[in-house]
Structure 1
Amino acid sequence: MATQPHDDLTETGERRRDFIYIATGAFAAAGAAVVVWPLVNQMNPSADVLALASIDVDLSPIQPGQAIKASFRGKPLFVRRLMPAEIEAANKVPVSELRDPQSLADRTKPGNAEWLITLGVCTHLGCVPLGAGEGENRGDFGGYFCPCHGSHYDTAARIRKGPAPKNLEVPEYAFKSPTSVTIG
């Protein structure tokens, strides 16, 4: 019976020591979080950068078959109003034959298939393709042509020929009205 109180004391002592270790570790973790948070938080974008995170584009001056260039987050942006013949040509292409398979419907908003909005950055090495400006080379498929390494995009800005691995990127956007779109 003399050993029993000694065993209880040792067991109780170990429990207290475990609690102290856990409490010390929790306190250290909380202190580290307090120190690290300002360092991580300073990497978030500032308010002036967030204000430029989206842009509004007026679509009313763009005629069928025309495109405009704008700047979005420091990158060129192409807004093209497709003609019915261009929409028909894009829809006739079997998606299974494309390197980056997407239909025109995947790249436009429902009910607004005539409006194609893409970033004007070639997915090969980041050059700016031609085809948005009047009289520019539109490549073999009537969309965009990258003069740096010869990538050809069709009327839906899908890669059809050349070294580019993917279609031109479609940014997030939403129509505010039939003639106005917010990008970003």
Structure 2
Amino acid sequence: MPLDNTLHPISRPLILGSTSRYRRELLERLRLPFDVHAPHVDETPEPGEAPVALAKRLALAKAREVAKRFPQAVVIGSDQVADLYGEPLGKPGDHQRAVAQLRRMRGKTVVFQTAVAVVCPSTGFEQCELAAVRVVFSQLSDDQIERYLQAEKPYDCAGSAKSEGLGIALLDRIDNDDPTALVGLPLIRTCHMLRAAGVPIL
């Protein structure tokens, strides 16, 4: 069934500054009309940068970079970093790195730090919030890790854990206050900020 975007007239264009199909699919749940533009941001951590600081910096950087091109728009930027006892783990990018990440995380508690920022240059609006999700990984065998990676190929997911898919089988427990945060865009916080930026929801 197509989305009825006429239910949500907004005075300013809404843009998701992201290349993630997961974030796009999450934002579609709000049934708001929006465009998607890729942010041109270097995601390399700074020396000694903590996972929380990295996630917030990149979320803001993505929103600001896209907002420079569309100053009249309300722009959403987001970033997720897997926090393994203070060490940031990003997207593995390939099979070998994904194996290494999952071997390190098995049997441990990992905090997925997901930051979301909303920016509108023409009104001076800028907010950034963080949703932390504590995840306890099962004591996975090498064979289980290999079977999971061959089936899911989650090489574009922080920490190699695609919880909305087969990755849920990797986990013993999830503790959070926003069920969408682990997928990559905390919609509860996003809704709060969009309303504050003047975007009507419902």
Q: TM over 0.5, yes or no?
A: no
**Normalization by structure 1: what TM-score?**
0.27
**Normalization by structure 2: what TM-score?**
0.25
- Bigger helix fraction: 2
Question: Which protein, 1 or 2, shows the higher relative CO under an 8 Å CA cutoff with sep ≥ 6?
Answer: 2
Larger Rg: 1
